[in-house]
Structure 1
Amino acid sequence: MIQIAVFSDVHGNLPALEAVLADIEKRGIQQKFCLGDLVDFAPWGNEVVEKIRSLNIPCLMGNHDERIAFDIPVFPLSKHSEEETVARFIAIDHSKEYITEVNKKFLSELPFHLKLNYKVGKKHWNIQLLHAGLASNETYLYESENDEVFIHMLEESQSDIVVMGHTHLSFKKYFEAGGWAVNCGSVGRSKEENRLASYLILTLEEEQIFPEIIQIAYPVEETIRGIEESGIPDYYAAFLKNERISVL
């Protein structure tokens, strides 16, 4: 049996990341992978990047990492409200200003995809890690997506399981033809009602893969206070409280 932990979408939330890493360590899991989006929306973008670097955790380039690394312009998204659009522009500009050049260089060199192959007994398991989609980091794939979309991803990547993040909503789907599609959720900016930090444990046995979504509490008050004391809009503090406020 082999166990690996996969997490994604930390978004500068250091207290949440530290809680997840502590939980993984407590479980004795040595293999850890991050699917990207280390920065934006909470004030510890540099600290999060440096934590990932210091622990040598393999990490993918999320769409926010790419935007900060290469100073890509920000455009409004139709799915966002007016207040979130305003807050998003301010928060991303904050990251562009405060993320160090060393950390921007690190983000710029992250891989887009990562393919893993683990051998358990006589069985080789192929695991495809990606941030959002096979072709784009701006693809939003939810649990409600047609099964054919995920089955095509499994076939195209020649994998037994595809693991993604990006949407901040965890799910796991098994297909009768064989294979899994799993979203590990978000460490630092969960859109699930409980706002808990979410990550994935994959247990690999010779006969099967067993994915388990783990959701844990963290000192969210510390994150809320950190946002309120920074130049990041209070919209993101209210989000963690499940509140709505005006940022205009």
Structure 2
Amino acid sequence: MSSAPYRIQLPDDCQQIALCGGPYSNFAAVEAFLAATANVPNRFCLGDMGGFGPDPNRTLNLLRAAEITCIQGNYDHAVGWGERDCGCGYSDPRDRQFAQISYDYTYTHTAPNHRQWLQQLPGQILLSWRDRQILLCHGSPDQVNEFVWETTTADSQIQAYCDRYQVDGICATHSGLPWIRTINHGADTRFWFNVGVLGRPAHEGLPHVYYGLLSWEAKTAQLMPRLVPLTYDVAAVTQAMQQAGLPPEFVQSLEQGIWTTCAEVLPAAEKAVKPRVHR
């Protein structure tokens, strides 16, 4: 995970890219993302393809068939290499218990050919896009399972990341809650862009999920990150979860739009059920 980022040069005429995070085996949300971004030629997944949801092969088949460019999250590394747990970074005993249930199910039900594919994914991608450099990572540029929260991350930390990695913006997903921070940097702007996750709602009390678009703003010649709410067939996934014998808390999370598990990691401000995106 500490190797140099995989480099991709985007064509100059590319106006927009789409980014998703944390599919978590939520096949219906992945289907909705693929449909919503069908006209965007460059699409990226920032890792954690499995976990939480049912039938991980179904989600992996969708992502691979659509030729989505993916990076390796902590979950993908663990499943690919057969680790003992997901390496998610939880410390609370209840969080760890549910995370282990999810991991054991996902590992057992992920086909060997998909595990081999997960092993080969890059840990980070560096996009060269016109005169900008954008880093795609999973947790933080420093650590794949680092939680970077909106309310506990200062502008100076984002500036330090950008300086250290010599980039104009960073796109990530691991902490699961979507947020954007833009910072003036001379005549340009820098940004941190957590694109959220497809796998479960953003703890807003609403069942939709989020994905990200990164577009050139014509008037300012700046890259503009934007979060897009995404509705999907929740019932199809919860029914499959129940048939798979996954915990009812997982079902309740998708239906109620809140984090019923793995929520103790949230900072105090993020624990509140409230809108995450101001539109």
Q: Normalising by the residue count of structure 1, what TM-score does the alignment of the two structures yield?
A: 0.90
Q: For 1:233 and 1:63, how far apart are their aligned partners in 2?
A: 22
Opposite residue 51 of structure 2, the aligned amino acid is D
Q: 2:67 aligns with which of 52, 56, 67?
A: 56
What residue is the counterpart of 2:199 in the other structure? 188
What residue is the counterpart of 1:171 in the other structure? 179
- What is the CA-CA distance between 1:192 and the residue it aligns to? 2.8
Instruction: Give the secondary structure class of the aligned counterpart of 1:132.
Output: coil
Alpha carbons 2:202, 2:209 under 8 Å: kept = no
Q: For 1:9 and 1:15, how far apart are their aligned partners in 2?
A: 13
- What is the CA-CA distance between 1:146 and the residue it aligns to? 1.4
What residue is the counterpart of 1:200 in the other structure? 212
Q: 1:151 aligns with which of 148, 152, 159?
A: 159
Instruction: Give the secondary structure class of the aligned counterpart of 2:70.
Output: coil
Does residue 127 of structure 1 match 2:127? no
What residue is the counterpart of 1:140 in the other structure? 147
Q: For 1:166 and 1:85, how far apart are their aligned partners in 2?
A: 16
Over residues 126-178 of structure 1, what are the superposed CA-to-partner deviations in whole Å (9 max), with x where a residue is unaligned? 11111111121110001111112111111122111111001111111011223
Over residues 207-237 of structure 1, what are the superposed CA-to-partner deviations in whole Å (9 max), with x where a residue is unaligned? 1111110011111111111111103222211
Q: For 1:45 and 1:32, how far apart are their aligned partners in 2?
A: 20
Q: Normalising by the residue count of structure 2, what TM-score does the alignment of the two structures yield?
A: 0.80
Q: For 2:144 and 2:16, how far apart are their aligned partners in 1?
A: 26
Residue correspondences, number: 237
Identity %: 23
Q: For 2:229 and 2:61, how far apart are their aligned partners in 1?
A: 24
Q: For 1:54 and 1:192, how far apart are their aligned partners in 2?
A: 30
- What is the CA-CA distance between 1:86 and the residue it aligns to? 2.6
What residue is the counterpart of 1:22 in the other structure? 35
Q: Structure 1 regions of 5+ residues with no counterpart?
A: none
Q: Structure 2 regions of 5+ residues with no counterpart?
A: 1-13, 262-279
What residue is the counterpart of 2:266 in the other structure? none
Alpha carbons 1:150, 1:181 under 8 Å: kept = yes
